[in-house]
Amino acid sequence: MTELLKNFVGGQWVEGRGPGTALHDPVTGAELVRVSSNGLDLPAAFAHARDTGGAALRGLSYAQRAAMLGAIVKVLQANRDAYFDIATANAGTVKNDSAVDIDGGIFTLGQYAKWGAALGDTKALRDGGAVKLSKEGGFQTQHVLVPNRGLALFINAFNFPAWGLWEKAAPALLSGVPVVVKPATATAWLMQRMVADVVAAGVLPAGALSIVCGSSVGLLDALTPFDVLSFTGSAETAATIRQHPAVAHHSVRTNIEADSVNSALLLPGATPGDPSFNLLVREVVREMTVKSGQKCTAIRRIFVPADLYDAVAEAIGAKLAKITVGNPRNETVRMGSLVSRAQFDGVTSGIAALRAETEVLHDGTQHGLVDADPRVAACLGPTLLGARNAEASPIVHELEVFGPAATLVAYRDVPHAHALVRRGGGSLVCSLYGPDDAALSDAALELAPAHGRVHIVTASVESQQTGHGNVMPQSLHGGPGRAGGGEELGGLRALGFYHRRSAIQADATLLDRLSALPFPA
């Protein structure tokens, strides 16, 4: 039997009961490790996090907590090679794709360490200035941001076991809020190892960071009114979480980042081969293939003027044809595997559903696999579908296929394009391409209400732009409606979720006594 990974709860490493669930190498099918959360005393674990971890964290200043984040960065950097090995084995990703997760997580932690240091030696933040409530001005209101007195429960997605933890934990810990994280089972190994390294290094106070690997049963039931919950995953599970009695009855503050059908939009005026045309093609190919399209921000819909439909299809297809697919251990392979055979089956059936209403412009099943057995490996070539008549393909705006697949859609004019983008019902990100800056900035404001982020790629920033799908800690990550309605990152904005805003009304001179520093605007 393979190793049964332990859970870290209540300040101890605890083995779950039973044989547990096995994690596999998605390329070879080999069993790697097992996880089980059966039999854990979650209410006691949560109480320890809240009472011991929360009190210890709140006893530190922002600058002290920021220094802790810096210490975590050092621990992770020291063990970086082991993380890449785990990612290759458990996620089937090539080195560049593993880096998006591992180095992305370390980078995000480092940013919050830097930003947090600037918050200084205080334990509460002022939100805006004091405002007069009486004509005389002697009685005023001062809003403050104070750390939540509960814990932060993270229920994470399988595609970012490293970054997915740290992009949430960095602002939570910086805010003084203890973290309990439940990784997705399929790829839980990497996150468990990172937590183990951080625990072993002793850089966090007891109770500040706990991990539960395996089933999520009982986690939500253990939540109480001052806790917060952050979920990343499918829209379906998100709805179940929202409706959970503990969440509904205790007003547990919830942040949800769900799947979405993100768009790339080429505005009118481009011609085949000009810079905006080429930038769109390159970005689409990158988004379809990085991490085998298993990014919640990946481009799923590509909108182009009807007269460019054929040229774009041909250009994307030509680049996709060159993508080598297979075992990530082979250096000639550009795109590794999906994280599991279950995901492979899901993506395959999703593509079949899309094909019922679209044409196939590039067929991923025609890619041969390098060093991988197609009967075992969860490897799949990239597939481009097409909807020349947008009105005939409603499924394109509804179904997210979480793999290397996207659909090209032709539009008539700009209002038609905007309406089609909005049919996604709210997405994480939309990228814009086009030759005219004024048209691009207008489209950005027009589409912003339906997106957490609008990413504009022009020739002037070709070498500097950070990528449609890359989530930069400086920018908001989340989106309305279908995308879950959440808000993460965005620099220090992320601290809002882990703080309670409160208005303190008092004598103006008494308000001066509040030992709180200004929140940076």
Residue list 499-518, contact with a copy of itself (CB under 8 A): 500-507, 509-511, 513-516
- Nearer residue to a copy of itself within complex by CB, 188 or 428: 428
Residue 472 near a copy of itself by CB under 8 A? yes
CB 280 within 8 Å of CB 264? yes
Which residues have a Cβ under 8 Å from the Cβ of 44 and sit 6 or more positions away? 10
CA angle 160, 107, 462 (to 5 degrees): 90
256 belongs to the binding site for a copy of itself (CB under 8 A) = yes
The active-site residue, picked from 296, 400, 430, 488, is 296
Q: Which of 208, 440, 494, 495 binds a copy of itself (CB under 8 A)?
A: 440
**241/182 Cα distance (integer angstroms):** 14
Q: Is 11 in the site for a copy of itself (CB under 8 A)?
A: no
Name the residue among 261, 274, 262, 289 with its Cα closest to residue 433: 274
- Among the options 167, 213, 257, 379, which is catalytic? 257
Q: 252 to each of 5, 148, 182, 245, 249, how far by Cα in Å?
A: 30, 11, 17, 10, 8
Asked if residue 131 binds a copy of itself (CB under 8 A), the reply is: yes
Options 52, 141, 216, 324; binder of a copy of itself; rule CB under 8 A: 141
Query: Is residue 392 a contact residue for a copy of itself (CB under 8 A)?
Result: no
Q: Is 243 a residue that touches a copy of itself (CB under 8 A)?
A: yes
Among residues 183, 185, 214, the alpha carbon closest in space to that of 342 is found at 185
Minimum distance of a copy of itself from residue 451's CB (angstroms): 6
Q: Assess 80 for contact with a copy of itself (CB under 8 A).
A: no
Among 134, 322, 375, 391, binds a copy of itself (CB under 8 A): 134
Interface pick for a copy of itself out of 342, 414, 456, 517 (rule CB under 8 A): 456
Start-end of H helices in 290-376? 309-321, 341-355
Shortest distance in whole angstroms from residue 90 CB to a copy of itself: 31
DSSP-assigned letter for residue 31: E
In this structure, are residues 320 and 384 in contact, taking their beta carbons and an 8 Å threshold?
yes
What distance in Å separates the CA atoms of residue 486 and residue 425, rounded to the nearest whole number? Answer: 14
Q: What angle do CA 243, 248, 252 make, to 5 degrees?
A: 115
Among the listed ranges 40-48, 60-68, 156-164, 439-447, the one in contact with a copy of itself (CB under 8 A) is 439-447
The only residue of 249, 269, 273, 392 in contact with a copy of itself, by rule CB under 8 A: 249
| Closer residue to a copy of itself in complex, CB, 12/466 | 466
Q: Is 213 a catalytic residue?
A: no
DSSP state of 5: E
25 within 8 A of 56, measured Cβ to Cβ = no
d(CA 499, CA 148): 5
**Minimal distance, residue 367 CB to a copy of itself, in Å:** 32
Among 6, 38, 84, 143, binds a copy of itself (CB under 8 A): 143
3 part of the interface to a copy of itself, by CB under 8 A:
no
Nearer to a copy of itself, 78 or 239 (CB): 239
Only one of the segments 27-35, 90-98, 324-332, 474-482 lies at the binding site for a copy of itself (rule: CB under 8 A); that segment is 474-482
Order across the sheet with 152-155: list the strands: 12-14, 7-9, 209-211, 179-182, 152-155, 228-233, 253-258
Applying CB under 8 A, among 30, 118, 200, 239 the residue interacting with a copy of itself is 239
Cα gap 468→300, rounded to integer Å? 12
Select the residue interacting with a copy of itself from 1, 81, 251, 331 (CB under 8 A).
251
Determine contact, residues 357/394, Cβ cutoff 8 Å. yes
Exactly one of 128, 202, 273, 374 binds a copy of itself (CB under 8 A); that residue is: 128
| Contact region with a copy of itself (CB under 8 A), list: 156-164, 179-187, 360-368, 498-506 | 498-506
Told to judge if 331 belongs to the known catalytic residues of this protein, a careful annotator would answer no
Please name the residue that has the structure tokens 């004598």.
507
Place of tokens 């009472």: 51
Contact with a copy of itself (CB under 8 A) among 57, 60, 113, 124: 124
Q: How many Å apart are CA 160 and CA 118, to the nearest integer?
A: 28
In whole angstroms, how close is the CB of 155 to a copy of itself at the nearest point?
16
Q: Which residues are catalytic?
A: 257, 296
